[in-house]
Amino acid sequence: MFGTTLKQESYLGYDCRALGRLPQFWRTVVFQFKRALVMRNTRRGEEYTFQINNNGKHDQHIILYLMSGGRSQVSLYVFPTFVTLNDVRSLSPNLLQRTFFVDVTDIPPRLVDNRSHQVLVYPSHRIGVVKSERKEIKLIPFEEILKSIAERRVGVTIKELLGNLKGKELEGAKIKSTRPRFTFQIFPSEYRR
């Protein structure tokens, strides 16, 4: 694995890279980490506000959807429910229990179009809401993601992911980004001893 400095990232277009060749049968999952902007106490309990599709060209959601090929458990938003460094310190070592995932396919691309949207996250109810559309979405706890990985129900092969990105377009959706940035988790599709 090779990590770049911020300066290198600005001209290389990535912040880390796996050096060498990986077998094409290995599986990959795309994680798009989001930062909680604010936490408020509401009737529903703690409410965290996140933004999606907020990259410079407002096409991040469409790219994530295309990478998934429309299949669930391939592209996931990651919503950690802590805001400040003090939150991180006080919640440590239980940060993963406070981190939730949303399947990109649970948010239809037609709802997102080419603008950013707020997602309100309610951890105690394990639901999120795309605020502008009043669309409820399921929050997936870390334990469920781990179980899905162990049962090999997540991801696609690297070859499938690359195929999903080639030559596909969504009706009415335009990809304007030339160098989008995402985090991939790559793991063998079969565990060999």
Does residue 15 belong to any structural domain of this protein?
no
Q: Which residues span the domain enclosing 61?
A: 26-187
Q: Residue 87 in contact with residue 52, Cβ under 8 Å?
A: no
Does residue 16 belong to any structural domain of this protein?
no
Structure token pair of residue 146:
């781990």
Rounded to 5 degrees, what are φ and ψ at 157? -70, 160
Does residue 91 belong to any structural domain of this protein?
yes
162-185 tens-digit pLDDT: 787 775 565 555 566 655 555 555
Rounded to 5 degrees, what are φ and ψ at 45? 100, -160
Give how many domains the chain has, as a whole number: 1
Q: What is the pTM of this model?
A: 0.79
Does residue 72 belong to any structural domain of this protein?
yes
49-103 tens-digit pLDDT: 999 988 877 888 888 888 888 889 988 899 999 998 888 888 888 888 899 999 9
How many angstroms separate the CA atoms of 118 and 138, rounded?
Answer: 15
Please state whether beta strands 27-33 and 75-80 pair in parallel, antiparallel, or not at all (unpaired).
parallel
Alpha helix positions (H), 30-180 = 60-68, 85-91, 109-112, 142-150, 158-165
Q: Residue 120 in contact with residue 37, Cβ under 8 Å?
A: no
